[in-house]
Amino acid sequence: MVSFNHVVLAGNLTRDPELKYLPSGTAVCEFALAINRKWKGQNGEQKEEVSFLDCQAWGRTAEVIAEHVKKGNPLLVSGYLKQERWDDQSGNHRSRVKVNVERMQFLGQKKDSGASAAPEAPAAAPEDETPF
């Protein structure tokens, strides 16, 4: 059986990243990206839809995201989709899909009141966690 699970996305953060540490000391960062899709309809009218995707990063990648981006900033991520399943309090089966971020790249900051430069990347990142 052939399978391939890889996703590359660019969008803007919908909220400030939330950085937490597991009891083991591993960093985990959760955030969401808003990703716009534009196209022309059959009548030539411009259309747009927005998807909001939950993302999760681990280790040094998680720390870098939490340190350098905030709500509204653009970010490019690559990783894989992971489905979570659980039963709610009523016993209903629930699920959601998250993007598990393996790599990221700063795209610069959203311009507001004159701010323009992209955040500086950390001095050095581990070889297995470097941006694209």
Mean pLDDT, range 40-44, rounded to an integer: 90
Tokens of 26: 């591993």
- What mean pLDDT, rounded, does the chain reach? 86
**H-type helices in the chain, by residue range?**
59-68
Mean pLDDT, range 63-70, rounded to an integer: 96
What is the rounded CA–CA span in Å between residue 109 and residue 126?
24
Decide: 28 and 22 in contact? Cβ < 8 Å. yes
The pLDDT assigned to 19 comes to 98
What is the rounded CA–CA span in Å between residue 80 and residue 103?
10
Count of alpha carbons within 13 angstroms of residue 2, beta-carbon side: 0
Task: Give the angle 101-20-18 at the CA atoms, nearest 5°.
Answer: 65
What is the pTM for the complete model shown? 0.76
Decide: 104 and 75 in contact? Cβ < 8 Å. yes
Whether 131 shows a pLDDT value over 90: the answer reads no
The pLDDT assigned to 112 comes to 54
User: Is CATH 2.40.50.140 correct for 7-114?
Assistant: yes
Of residues 123 and 27, which shows the higher confidence score? 27
The pLDDT assigned to 21 comes to 98
Whether 123 shows a pLDDT value over 70: the answer reads no
How many beta carbons lie within 10 A of that of residue 61, not counting itself?
23
pLDDT in tens, 91-113: 999 999 999 999 999 997 555 54
The pLDDT assigned to 52 comes to 97
The pLDDT assigned to 108 comes to 75
Mean pLDDT, range 12-40, rounded to an integer: 97
Mean pLDDT, range 40-63, rounded to an integer: 95
For 114, the 3-state DSSP assignment is coil
